[in-house]
Amino acid sequence: MGRLVQLEVTNFKSYRGHHVIGPFKDFTAVIGPNGSGKSNLMDAISFVLGVQSAHLRSTNLKELIYRGRALVDEQGTPVATGETESATSASVSAVYEDDQGRRTVFTRTIAADGSSDYRINSRPSKREPYISLLERENILVKARNFLVFQGDVEAVASQNPKDLTRLIEQVSGSLELKPQYDTLKDAMDKQLESSASMYQKRKTVQAELKQYREQKDEADKFDALEVERGQLILDHTLWRLFHVERDLERVQESTNNAQGTRAELAELEAAADRKLAAAKQAVAAATRDVTRAERKVAAKDKEIADRAPQVAQLQQSRTHAEGRRDRLSATRNKVAADVEKHAEGVEHLEKQIKALDQAKRKVETKIANAKRQREALEAFTDEYHRMQSEYLVTAAPVQQELDSARLGTKTRGDRIKAAESKRDAAERSRVQVQTELDAAKSKLSNARDNLELMHAKLADIDTEIAQSASRAAALRAREVQLNESFADVSSKLMEYTADRRATQRERAHAELVAELKAMFPNTVHGTLAQVCKPAQKKYEVAVGNVLGRHLDAIVTDNQATAIECIRYMRENRKGHAQFLPLAELVTKEIPQALRMFAHARPARDLIEYSKDVAPAVEYACGTALVAESMDVARHICYERDTRVKCVTLDGITIQKGGGMSGSSDGGRAQQQQRASRWDEQEMDDLQTRLNNIRAQLLEVNAEKRKAADRERPEERRVTIAGQVEYLTNLANGLQAKVEALETQVAALEKERVTAERTIDELQEEMGDAHVEDLEARLDEIKQATFADFCARVGVGAVDEFERIVIESAAAEARELQDVEKQRANVESTLVFEREQLAQMQTRLQSLEDDVAKQEKAIVEAEHKMEQVQEVIAGIQAEMDEMRQELDGHKKVRDEKAAAHGLAKRQLAEVRKELEAMDRALAEHFDSRVQLHHQRVTMLRRARVEGIPIRLTAGSMASLAPDVSLAESQEVSQGIEIDYSGLDPELQADGSDHMEQQFNARLNEIAADLDRMAPNRRALDKMSGVTTKAKQTEKEFDAVRRAAKHAKDAFESVRAERYTRFMDAFQHISGCIDKVYKDLTMSRNFPLGGTAYLSLESEEDPFSSGIKYHAMPPMKRFRDMEQLSGGEKTVAALALLFAINSYRPSPFFVLDEVDAALDNANVAKVARYVVQAGLGKQGGKDGETEAAMDRVQFVVISLKNSFYERAQALVGVHRDNDQNTSSVLTLDLEQFPAA
C-alpha cells in the first residue's frame, strides 16, 4: 500500500511561513506540549485531503489562514515587532507515494476571500477528480476512514445504531446510491399507488356490471317464484280441505260406536254403586269396633302412664338413700378405725400407769434399805470431814488444774447436750411428721383410686345418657314423622272425592280457555291465575284468598271479545265462565293511608303481572291488604277500625265488616297437582298406610312408657358427679398436705443431720482434753488419804461412804420425784384420751343409727316399688289381652276394608271407563266442531285471498264475514269441492310431515321473495356498463406495466446498495472480534475480550441500525454507555481498525486517542499499532500469527509509553520569537532498541 511521505505547510493556522514536516515512517508519533500546534498538524492533513471546514474546528476556510499576534514582555507590556502581520493565504501539500514508488503531491490552498482550490502535482484540479484520485487509493474523504480527531474516539463507539449504519454505508459506498435509491423508491410508490387506484376503479366497474347481471337474473327468478307460490298455495289449501273432510267422516263413525258402549257402562255403574254402599256400611261397623278397643287400650295405657311417676319418684328416693348410706358407711368405718386406734392408746397408757406404780414401790423399798445403812455409818461423819480437809489441802494444786480443765469440758458438754436435745427433738418431730405423711399418702392413694372409679362410672353413665337421649330423640322423630304422615294421609283421604270433582271441572275449564285463546289469539289473554303470580312463594296462600273467585276468570281485551266467547260457549254447550274485559273494568286507587301500616302491604303490590293485564289484577285485588301475622291484621281492622279486607300469610281473612274466616281457597295449585296423581288404587293404599301408621304410633307410645319406667341415669349422674367433686377436692387437699409434709420432713432431717455433725465436732474437741488424767491423779490422792478410814469404816472406797451417807438421801428423793412426776403426766394423758374415746364412740353409735335408718328407707322404697310394679304388671296384662282383642277387630276391619276397596275399585273402573267414554264423546264432538271450524276458516281465507278453488256444488259467496260461525258451518256443508286437480299422492298422504313440507317450501319461497328487490331497468343499463368495463381494463393494463417497470428499476438499485452494504458489514463483523481480542489480550487474559456487531433488520438494513457490543475480559455484558472511558476507547479503536480493514487506507492519523487509556491499555494499543505498521497481526505474547496489509500510522500522543515505540518522532513546539509553531523531526531507528 502507499504511504504519506511528508507534509508542507504554509501559513496554516499556527504555522507561520513554510514548514516541511517529515518524512513520516510507518509509525510516526507527533509529540509536544499542549498549545504547541499538534492538533493543527492533524487539521493540516485533514484539510489537504479534502475534509470540509466544519470538521476542522472552524466555521469557514478563512479561519485556517495564519493570523499574527502581538507579543508581550515579562511585565505584560505589548512589544512591537515587524512580524505581526497576518498572512493573506495558506496552503498545505501532502507528498504521497503509491505501491509502485510513484509520488503524487496533493496541494490545497486558501485565498484571502476564503475560497479554496486544489492541485495535483502543481496542476490545478477540481474537487471531484481530486477526491476521486484519493478514493482510488482508498482514502475516503466522506467516510474519513484515515483519521480520528481528538475527542472523537469515544463517540465512535457510543454513536447510535443509525449513525453506525451511515458510517458503514459511507465505507461500503452504498451511501452513494442513496439518492437514486430514494428517487426510484418514490417513483415506485407512486406507480403502485396509481396501479392500486386503477385496480379499484376496475373492480368497481366489474362489480357494477356484475350487479346488473344479478339484478336481471333476480327479476326472472322472482317471476318464477311468484308462479310457483300461487300453485303451491292452491295445492296446500286443497290438500288441507281434502283431509279435513276425511277426518270428519272418521270422527262421525267413532261417535256412533262410543254412544252404544256408554249405555252398557251406565248399567254396570248402578250395580257397582249398590255393592259399594253395602261394603261401606260393613267397614264403618268394623271401624267402630276398632275404635272402642283402641279407647280401652288407651285408657289402660294412660293408667300405666299415671303410675310411672310414682316408680320414678321411688327410684329417686332409693338412689338418694343408697348414696347417703354409702357416704355414712364410709364415715362410720373411718370413725370406727379411729376408735380402735384410740382404744389401743388408752390401753397402752393404763399399762404405763401400772408399770410406774410398780417402779414407785421399788424406789420406796430402796430408800428404806438405804436409810438403815446410812444410819449405821453416820458415826464416822466427823472423821470423814477431817480427812476431807486434809485431802483438799493435799489435792488443791491438782484440783485447781482439774477445775480449769473441767470448765472448758463443761462448756462443750453443755453444747453437746443442747445439740443432742435438738437432734432428738428433730428426730421425734420427723418421726411424727413421717407418720402423718405416710397416712396422708395412703389416704391420697385411696382417694385417687376412688376418683378413678367414679370417673369410670361417670363415663358409663354418660354413655348410657347419650344412648337414652339418642333413643328418645329417635322415638320423638319417629313420632313426629308418623303424626305428620297420619295427618297427611287422613287429609288426602278426606279430600279425595272433592279433589276429584274439582280436577274434572278445572280440566274442562282449562280446555275451554285453550280453545278460546286459539280462536281469539291476541284478544283472549287466559285466566287471571295464568296472567299473574305472587312475587314470592310465601304470599301464595294470601294472594289466592284475595283473588278468590276471580282466579278462574278469563281476561279479554274488551267486552265485545267477551261476548263472542260467551256466544261460542252457548253454541257449543261449554258451560259457564266469568270474564274480565280490560277496557270496561273500573279499578280503585289504593288510599295512601293503607300504605302506611307497618308489616302490611296492598295485595296488588305483591303480585307480578304485565301492564297489559293491570286493570284485571287491580280489579280483583281491590284495596285488600296482606298482613304478616294475625296480630297485625287485628291491629289494622279492629284497633284502628279500618274498613278493609285483610288477609294473613296463612290464609285467615278479616272482611270489611269485621267477620273472620279461615283459608278456603288457598292451595289451589297444590290441589291441581294432587288431582293429576290420584287414582282409586292410591286411595286403597292410603287407607292401608293409615292403619299401619296408627299401629306404629301405638308401638312408639309403648316404647316411651317403658323408657319412663326405667331408672333415669341423669339422677345417678348427679349423685356420682357430687362424689367426683368431693373426691377431687379431697385429693387436691391431700396432695397439698403431702407436699407440705414432705417439705417439713426434709427440713427436720436436715436439722437432725446438722445437729449430729455438731455433736461429732464437739466430742472430738472434748477428746483432746486431759480431764481424765487429772481426775485419775486426784482419785489416787483421795484413795491414799482415805485408805485407813475406809478400812476402819468397812467400805471399799470413800466414794461409797459419800454415796451412802451424804448423797443417797437427795438422789433417792429425786428418783422418787421423777417416778411420781412421770406417773402424773401419763395419768393426765390417759384422762384426755379416755374423753376423746368416749366422744368417738358416741359419734360411731350415731353413725350406726343413721346407716340403719338409710337401710330401712331403702328397703321401704324397694317394697313400695315392688307393689307399684305389681299393679302396673297387672294393668299391662289386662292391656295385652285388650290388644289381642284390638288385633282381632283390626283384622276384621282390614278384611271389610279390603272388600270395600275391591268394590270401590270395581266402581272406579266402571266410572273411569264411563268417564273415558264421556271424554271420548266430548272429544269427538269438539273434533267435529273444530274440523268444521277449520273448513269454514280455510274456505273464507281462500275467498279473501282469491285462491282459485273449483266447486262442484254450493257457492263461496255464502261465506260472507257478517254470517255467524254456526251459520257458516251449516252453509259450508252444502259446498262440495272438486279434488280432481289434487295429486293422488297428496290425497293418500295426510301426515304432519307433508304439512311441514308445504310450510317449509312456502316459507322458503316467501323468504326468497322478501330478500329479492327486482330492478326492472337493469337490462337497459347493462350495455353502457359493459363498454365502460372494457375501457377500464385497457387503462389498468397500461398502469400495471408502468408500475412493474418502476419496481424493477428500484429493485436493481436496492440489490446493488444491499450488496455493497452487506459486503462491508459482513467483513467488518467478521474481523472486529479478532481486532478487539488483539487489543485486549494480555498474559493474565490470553483470550482477550469479545466484540460483535448485529443488524436490527437484515431485510432493510439501511433504514434500521447496527448495534455494537464489546465485553472486556472477565466482565459481564453491559451496554456501551456503561463502559469506562478507557474501555470505550479500546472498543472504538477496534471498530475503527475493523472498518479500515475493509477498504484499508494507506495511512491512519490518530489525534490523542490514548487520552483515556491507562498504561496497560496504552501498551496494548501501541503493540497493535507497531504490528499493523509492520504488516503483521499480533499474536500471543507478541508473536505473529498472520500477515496483514501494512498501514502507516501517524499518532499524536502525550504518553511516552506510546510514542517511545514509534519509528520516528515529530516534535511540535512553540517559537515565541517567531510567533509560530515549529517542527523537529527525529528518526528513532538510528538508535538501537533498549
Reduce the DSSP state of residue 673 to 3 states and report it.
Answer: helix
CA–CA gap between residue 152 and residue 1128 (Å, rounded): 11
User: Who wins on pLDDT, 635 or 1016?
Assistant: 635
* Region 703-715 average pLDDT: 63
Query: Mean pLDDT across the stretch 265-272?
Result: 81
* Residues 196, 193: Cα–Cα separation, whole Å: 5
Whether 796 has a pLDDT exceeding 80, the answer reads no
Q: Which residue has the higher pLDDT, 1032 or 500?
A: 1032
Residue 118 pLDDT exceeds 90: yes
Strands 1090-1095 and 532-534: unpaired
Please determine, for residue 107, whether its predicted confidence score (pLDDT) is greater than 90.
yes
Q: Once rounded to an integer, what is the mean pLDDT over residues 1043-1066?
A: 88
Tens of pLDDT, residue by residue over 681-703, are 456 566 677 777 777 777 777 77
How far apart are the C-alpha atoms of 1071 and 682, rounded to whole Å? 103
Distance CA 17, CA 1145 (A): 30
pLDDT, position 407: 66
Number of helices (H) and strands (E) in the chain: give both, helices first.
26, 30
**Three state DSSP letters for 910-947:** HHHHHHHHHHHHHHHHHHHHHHHHHHHHHHHHHHHHCC
Flag whether pLDDT at 768 surpasses 60: no
Read off the pLDDT of each residue in 217-243 and give the average, rounded to a whole number: 79
pLDDT at 581: 93
Residue type, 951: L
Q: What percent of the chain has pLDDT over 90?
A: 8
Largest CA distance in the chain: 200
CA distance 276 to 257: 29
**Mean of pLDDT over the chain:** 79
Res 251 pLDDT > 60:
yes
Interacting residues of 707 by C-beta distance below 8 A, sequence separation 6+: 468, 471, 472, 475
Q: How confident is the model at residue 1183 (pLDDT cuts 50, 70, 90)?
A: very low
pLDDT digits (tens, 9 = 90+) for 451-477: 888 888 788 788 878 777 777 778 778
Q: What's the CA gap between 922 and 904, in Å, rounded?
A: 26
Q: Stretch 25-29: mean pLDDT, rounded?
A: 90
Q: Which of 290-304, 390-404, 646-660, 810-824 has the highest mean pLDDT?
A: 646-660
Strand ordering across the sheet containing 147-148: 147-148, 1147-1151, 1192-1196, 27-31, 1208-1215, 1220-1227
Question: What pLDDT was estimated at residue 677?
Answer: 32
Q: For residue 1031, give the C-alpha cell.
A: 375501457
Burial per residue of 973-1009, b for 16 or more beta-carbon CB atoms within 10 angstroms, e otherwise: eebebebeebeeebeeebeeebeeebeeeeeebeeee
The residue-averaged pLDDT of 50-65 equals 78
Q: What 3-state DSSP class applies to 1193?
A: strand
H/E element, 288: helix 178-377
CA distance to 42, 890, 1069, 1199, 1209, per residue, from 1165 (Å): 20, 126, 20, 12, 18
Print burial letters for 1210-1226: b (CB count within 10 Å at least 16), e (below 16): bbbebeeeebbbbbebe
What is the 3-state secondary structure of 176-244? Answer: HHHHHHHHHHHHHHHHHHHHHHHHHHHHHHHHHHHHHHHHHHHHHHHHHHHHHHHHHHHHHHHHHHHHH
Q: Mean pLDDT check: name the lowest of 247-251, 1025-1029, 1173-1177.
A: 1173-1177
Q: Which one has a higher pLDDT value, 680 or 449?
A: 449
Residue 728 has pLDDT above 80, yes or no: yes
Strands 27-31 and 116-120: unpaired
Cell of 653: 281473612
Distance between CA atoms of residues 947 and 1036, nearest Å: 56
Closest CA to 1127 of 1091, 1097, 1094, 1171: 1091
From residue 1221, alpha-carbon distances to 69, 109, 134 in Å are 13, 19, 28
CB count within 10 Å of CB 498 equals 10
In one-letter notation, the amino acid at residue 341 is K
Highest averaged pLDDT of the listed ranges 306-310, 350-354, 790-794: 350-354
Given a cut of 50, whether residue 955 has pLDDT beyond it is yes
Mean pLDDT of 342-357: 83
Q: How far apart are CA 841 and CA 839, in angstroms?
A: 5
| 370-388 residue pLDDT tens | 666 666 666 677 777 777 7
The answer on pLDDT for 157 being more than 70 is no
Top mean pLDDT of 622-631, 902-911, 1154-1163 is at 622-631
> What would the mean pLDDT of 801-813 be, rounded to a whole number?
65
Residue 668 has pLDDT above 70, yes or no: no
Band of the pLDDT at 880, cuts 50, 70, 90?
Answer: confident
* Alpha-carbon distances, residue 943 vs 167, 237, 241, 978 (angstroms): 95, 11, 14, 15
Q: Is 1065 exposed, middle or buried (0-12, 13-18, 19+ CB in 10 A)?
A: buried
**According to the model, what pLDDT value does residue 95 have?**
94
* Higher per-residue confidence, 525 vs 474: 525
What pLDDT band is residue 16 in, cutting at 50, 70 and 90? very high
Choose the most confident range, by mean pLDDT, from 205-214, 972-981, 1147-1156: 1147-1156
- Grade residue 590 by pLDDT with cuts at 50, 70 and 90: confident
